[in-house]
């Protein structure tokens, strides 16, 4: 109900200059998005590759992916819970429980891999249902519920693997997930199809919007995004397709690790859910203002429970990957630093601990940062103690950035 018009500004939004200006305005207003994570990633990579040239080797590059995969996947699930302003401290050991279920069924009971995987995932879903119901229906703070579950699941893992023995995994399919690679040509095909599909989606979307007279991203910006994606995917596939084996005559080791397309697939699915479906919209709404969501007729309890289900389900997938990478499951699977690394990954990537802000991509960016720190410091020969301390500091730093950007947004009249 106000009078002044800003037609020039509107028109300029469709040009590159306006687009950039809007972007900088948002950043200054506290919406940092992926900026800190990407910046951190670049800085860390430069530091490590200068100090330890081995960091840049093809074999180490491939290692980064398999090292970070489980944490990244768990972090992707945590994003859903964090979006609601809740926390799941049990996600690490939930992944351990699911991995243990997988190992017991595969190795001790002799189930086929697909049934064992299904059972592990179902375990994750049930865990999420239980946690979510306690939080949403009984109203116990998620911090307390999942702290209790953290302890309990640790016990469950111990019980499942019979007090400390470890269960090895021999099934070829499960082992392939974190140990085998996609054939080089297929890797290239996947990258090309992926980039092309992204370009087509972006362009048709912009076309449709312009056709209806709405402000759309300018083609040059879309071109830039597509080019950036193509560059990242191209370099990654190229390096991963290099021969990594010390002795290529005996065994050839090259290609994109299978976990990479798996993570990309999960990323696409959850990004679609969060950004393009009503359900995703409702998750953001509940995280932003639960009472407003309730008044809009959204079933807030159902949303809460479902977020915990997604989180624990993703933990089960993370557990399966971890089991595959370690070739076994032991009482420490999903334990020690897994949860903190996963929460750290989500927050470092830009997901807010206060709820309402976050993306599936955050988990991948943050997961990459965490993996690079762990890997790089390992190469430099630092002990686990130093690694923990540094990762903890990075998490604190990310949380500070989160809190400060929120404060900044509040100061700018945004709440």
Which residue lies nearer to another protein by CB, 246 or 295? 295
Closest CB 195 distance from another protein, rounded Å: 22
Q: How far is the CB of 357 from another protein (least distance, A)?
A: 6
Kindly state the smallest distance separating residue 294's Cβ from another protein, in Å: 7
Q: Are 319 and 97 in contact (CB under 8 A)?
A: yes
d(CA 327, CA 166): 10
| Cβ atoms within 10 Å, residue 328 | 17
Binding residues for another protein (CB under 8 A)? 1-6, 9-10, 13, 29, 208-209, 212-215, 276-278, 281-282, 284-285, 287-289, 291-298, 356-357, 409, 412-415
Between 147 and 408, CB nearer to another protein: 408
Cβ 37 to another protein, closest distance in Å?
A: 19
CA-nearest of 133, 195, 124 to 156 is: 124
In the complex with another protein, which residue's Cβ is closer, 166 or 281?
281
Q: Which is nearer to another protein, 3 or 165 (CB)?
A: 3
Write down the least CB distance from residue 356 to another protein, Å: 4
Q: Which is nearer to another protein, 6 or 250 (CB)?
A: 6
Distance CA 184, CA 174 (A): 21
Q: Which is nearer to another protein, 19 or 179 (CB)?
A: 19
Shorter beta-carbon distance to another protein: residue 225 or 408: 408
Q: How far is the CB of 311 from another protein (least distance, A)?
A: 20
Compute the least distance from the CB of residue 384 to another protein, in Å: 38
């Amino acid at each position: 109900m106000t009078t002044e018009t800003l037609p020039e500004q509107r028109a300029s939004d469709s040009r590159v200059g306006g687009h950039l200006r809007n972007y900088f305005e948002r950043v200054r207003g506290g919406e940092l998005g992926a900026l800190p994570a990407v910046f951190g990633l670049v800085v860390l990579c430069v530091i490590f590759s200068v100090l330890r040239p081995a960091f840049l080797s093809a074999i180490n590059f491939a290692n980064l992916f398999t090292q970070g995969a489980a944490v990244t996947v768990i972090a992707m699930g945590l994003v859903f819970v964090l979006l609601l302003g809740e926390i799941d401290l049990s996600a690490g050991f939930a992944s351990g429980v699911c991995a243990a279920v997988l190992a017991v069924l595969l190795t001790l009971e002799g189930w086929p891999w697909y049934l064992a995987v299904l059972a592990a995932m179902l375990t994750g879903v049930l865990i999420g249902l239980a946690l979510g119901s306690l939080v949403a229906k009984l109203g116990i703070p998620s911090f307390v519920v999942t702290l209790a579950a953290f302890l309990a699941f640790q016990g469950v893992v111990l019980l499942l693997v019979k007090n400390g023995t470890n269960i090895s995994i021999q099934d070829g399919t499960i082992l392939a997930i974190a140990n085998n690679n996609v054939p080089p040509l297929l890797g290239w095909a996947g990258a090309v199809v992926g980039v092309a599909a992204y370009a087509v989606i972006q362009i048709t979307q912009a076309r449709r919007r312009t056709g209806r007279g709405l402000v759309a991203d300018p083609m040059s910006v879309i071109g830039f995004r597509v080019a950036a994606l193509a560059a990242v995917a191209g370099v990654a596939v190229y390096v991963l397709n290099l021969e990594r084996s010390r002795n290529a005559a005996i065994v050839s080791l090259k290609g994109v690790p299978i976990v990479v397309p798996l993570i990309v697939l999960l990323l696409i699915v959850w990004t679609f859910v969060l950004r393009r479906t009503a359900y995703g919209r409702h998750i953001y709404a509940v995280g932003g203002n639960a009472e407003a969501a309730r008044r809009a007729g959204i079933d807030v309890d159902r949303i809460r429970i479902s977020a915990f289900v997604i989180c624990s389900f993703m933990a089960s997938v993370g557990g399966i990957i971890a089991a595959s990478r370690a070739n076994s499951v032991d009482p420490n699977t999903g334990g020690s630093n897994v949860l903190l690394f996963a929460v750290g990954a989500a927050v470092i990537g830009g997901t807010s601990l206060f709820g309402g802000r976050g993306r599936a991509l955050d988990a991948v960016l943050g997961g990459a940062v965490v993996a690079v720190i762990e890997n790089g410091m390992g190469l430099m020969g630092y002990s686990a103690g130093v690694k923990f301390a540094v990762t903890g500091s990075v998490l604190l730093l990310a949380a500070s950035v989160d809190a400060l950007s929120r404060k900044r947004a509040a100061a700018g009249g945004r709440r």
